Amino acid sequence: MLKLGINIDHVATLREARYRGRDFGEPDPFAAAQVCEAAGAHGITAHLREDRRHIQDHDVWRLRETVQTRLNLEMTNTPELVDIALRLKPDIVCLVPERRQEITTEGGLDADGQWSALTDTRQRLNHAGIEVSLFIAPDLLQVEAAARIGAQFIELHTGAFAELFHSKRGRNEEIERLVAAAEMAHELKLRVNAGHGLNYENLPLLHVVPHLVELNIGHSIVSRAVFAGLGAAVTEMLALLRDYPAR
């Protein structure tokens, strides 16, 4: 069964717009995580960025104490954040690139170019009992590098697919890239997640990508929650995952 991880960063973004720099405020990412789990989500994702623009340190510690499914900590590969992860012990860490000027994560890691540093961090996290995923573009060179690094998962960046969704030719080319990357990853014994820009309209087309374990989705679900409520938004997204073919 294809699983759904909910990225709650966007709940924290709304809180920080009003309560930046305070240790309280609404909406509460912790409460959002509870609602998502109650609605059937298989995991909770939180991105602790270097600039702390949305999720804060106290958020991840509270989530670690309360998440009952699977806590996925997204972070960039810096000594400070690696130290936090080693103490926090989330179920999985997804290593992502960061640029201060970006609004959201715009691309995948250069796993091939950062092989040594990523391997060292992967080893340290694994030794602490934490699984490691690398957020990469659907590029075969990067998939092969992820396997050499020893990651347990890759998360395929679906942003280009989402951006080109309304161009039939463009989206088909991106789907072909995603399929090829997923097939190669499977052959290399990597488990495959995917995320970025996925929504209620474009997700069904992703069913042709084989070997997917989990989709991580945030913005679209939080946006839908404004009108339908968070629990209903999660339920609607879960319904779209049910037709994913078993392989």
Q: Note every long-range contact of 23-32, with CB atoms under 8 Å and residues 24 or more positions apart, other chains counting.
A: 23/58, 29/55, 29/59, 29/63, 30/59, 30/62, 30/63, 30/66, 32/6, 32/8, 32/230
Query: Which among 47, 54, 131, 157 is annotated as catalytic?
Result: 47
Give the burial string for 120-155 (b: 16+ CB within 10 Å, else e): ebbeebeeeebbbbbbbbbbeebbbbbbebebbbbb
Cβ neighbours, 10 Å, residue 26: 10
Catalytic hit among 10, 42, 54, 74: 74
Annotated active-site residue in 42, 54, 157, 196: 196
* Secondary structure of residue 8 in the 3-state scheme: coil
Told to judge if 157 belongs to the known catalytic residues of this protein, a careful annotator would answer no
- pLDDT (tens, 9 = 90+) of the chain, 247 residues, equals 999 999 999 999 999 999 998 888 999 999 999 999 999 999 999 999 999 999 999 999 999 999 999 999 999 999 999 999 999 999 999 999 976 554 455 678 999 999 999 999 999 999 999 999 999 999 999 999 999 999 999 999 999 999 999 999 999 999 999 999 999 999 999 999 999 999 999 999 999 999 999 999 999 999 999 999 999 999 999 999 999 997 7
Q: What is the pTM of this model?
A: 0.94
Name all domains of the chain by residue range, CATH numbers in brackets.
3-241 (3.20.20.70)
pLDDT on residue 38? 98
What pLDDT does 104 receive? Answer: 52
Known active-site residue 74: yes
Q: Is 186 a catalytic residue?
A: no
Question: Which pLDDT score is estimated for 184?
Answer: 98
